[in-house]
Amino acid sequence: MADNHDQHPEGRQPRTALLIVDVQPTFCEAGALAVEGGNDVAAKVAELLAGEHGYDLVVTTQDWHIDPGDHFSDEPDFVDTWPPHGEAGTAEAELHPALDPVTDRIDARVRKGMHAAAYSGFEGVDGDGRTLNDLLSSAGVHEVDVVGIAFDHCVRATAMDAAANGYATTVIEGLSASVAPETEAAARTQLADAGIEVITSR
């Protein structure tokens, strides 16, 4: 991966990043597409950010659907089609309220899925149109930890793309939640085959 010498605001070169995937009310208990344990993940991620976490760059991703076509369905199969969720401009699509006290610890925010299905954070852009890969590479990041919701869908997809883009990639399962045991097992196999380590905690 090409090294980029853009400087971090504190004058040091970032090397490690935390990617917080879709920690939004829409994917938590009482949300439109609720994942059991979502609120707990949000609280734990907030606790991590509040401490001396050691990451040089922290990036969040959000589902931010405007008109995602057949990604939404009134009769979803929960594989390729889903009930409406993460609708742009709604409270459910914002970052989880548990993260409100630590938003100053977030360096960048990427939104994805505006007009098509998007599972990986690498399919999104920030407010200036920069992709997640743009943000990481310009910051000189070489290693990423991926956390969030859901382990077996968007966390998996983001981690897979991170590895494909040349980043040493780890998923922290203790800061993630899965939709179902079957898809979680399949995700673990895919991650292992891609050389991505899955750990309980740092």
Active site amino acids: 22, 112, 154
Rounded CA gap, 117 and 142, in Å? 27
116 close to 81: Cβ distance less than 8 angstroms: no
In order, the DSSP letters of 24-72 are: -GGGSTTSTT--TTHHHHHHHHHHHHHS----SEEEEEEE-BS--GGGB
Nearby residues of 11 by Cβ (< 8 Å), 6 or more positions away: none
Rounded CA gap, 99 and 14, in Å? 22
Rounded CA gap, 164 and 137, in Å? 13
Query: What kind and span of H or E run contains 185?
Result: helix 181-193
